[in-house]
Amino acid sequence: MTFTTRFAPSPTGPLHLGHAYSALLAHDMARAAGGRFLLRIEDIDSTRCRPHWEAQIYDDLAWLGIAWDAPPQRQSDHLTAYRAALDGLWRRGLIYPCTCTRRDIGAAASAPQEGAAPAYGPDGLIYPGTCRAKPRPPVMPDGTVLRLNMAAALKVIGAPDTRLNFRETGTGTTRAISIDMQKLTSTVGDIVLSRKDFPGSYHLSVVLDDAAQNVTHVIRGTDLFDATQIHVVLQKLFGLATPTYHHHRLIRDAAGKRLAKRDDARAIAKYRADGATPQDIREKVGL
């Protein structure tokens, strides 16, 4: 299979040095492998995504010398695929509606359970399972949060007898990361696969889109390392191949803090306005 990777920004703010590093690294790796570099606009959060940020992404990437090998995909164009996948999980009894508010979850998760402190997973507080046992309606509801029943999903996959691994190349050498599936109910829990305002969630769409774009190598920051085990579980549930993962270092500010979208001072647009060249940006991020 042709080496295929992607850069998948969300148009919720200006691209900064961290994005530039991620995009340049993925682009360079694709070119070095004689492969393909794709662009995907992750715009499922309609409250925060803006067309002018999307336009700025295209402009900044082109300025950096990055070319993509197919028209960019937009997640908001793939609602039918997400819905179909959710339908399948619903019919298999693997997802359930959840009506808990953030406050309900916080209260339930911090209720004294044998003195244990509330546990956090890749998506924040681990869902305490309040809605899991409630009877499901006959038809999958729209406009409701849907959660994965992680214990049921793991059973379908064959845990604990099946081992799940993914290949990680981000450390310089290729190594197999083994996922401790028995722990996933307590370290990840029943994650959200569909939101109230969107028939999907980051985890669901990223897995389906990487497969739809035939991505063989996912190159992204180490901040998403813990999300990868979730993605591998979903790939198994959907019968999709697991790509190779390359989690790269994060670009930090002088105080060692990871750059955020609101770090406008490090926005590519700001460097451009100040007269920097694409080569200056490459040097700044250590490429």
Which residues here bind ligand GLU, judged by CB under 6 A? 8-10, 42, 206, 220, 224
Q: How far is the CB of 9 from ligand GLU (least distance, A)?
A: 5
Q: How far is the CB of 224 from ligand GLU (least distance, A)?
A: 5
Closer CB to ligand GLU, 185 or 213, in the complex: 213
Q: How far is the CB of 102 from ligand GLU (least distance, A)?
A: 21
Rounded to whole angstroms, the Cα distance separating 42 from 76 reads 8
Rounded to whole angstroms, the Cα distance separating 226 from 142 reads 29
Q: How far is the CB of 20 from ligand GLU (least distance, A)?
A: 13
In contact, 164 and 124? CB cutoff 8 Å: no
Rounded to whole angstroms, the Cα distance separating 86 from 203 reads 12
Rounded to whole angstroms, the Cα distance separating 91 from 138 reads 10
Alpha carbon distances (Å) from 239 to 3, 207, 235, 264: 20, 11, 6, 41
Phi, psi of 77 (to 5 degrees): -90, 0
Rounded to whole angstroms, the Cα distance separating 153 from 130 reads 17
Closest to 45 in 3D by CA, of 254, 210, 192: 192
Q: How far is the CB of 261 from ligand GLU (least distance, A)?
A: 9
Q: How far is the CB of 208 from ligand GLU (least distance, A)?
A: 12
Closer CB to ligand GLU, 13 or 129, in the complex: 13
Rounded to whole angstroms, the Cα distance separating 241 from 35 reads 18
Give residue 115's region: left, alpha or beta (phi > 0; psi -120 to 50): left
Rounded to whole angstroms, the Cα distance separating 165 from 242 reads 9
Closer CB to ligand GLU, 74 or 132, in the complex: 74
Rounded to whole angstroms, the Cα distance separating 108 from 275 reads 53
Q: How far is the CB of 220 from ligand GLU (least distance, A)?
A: 4
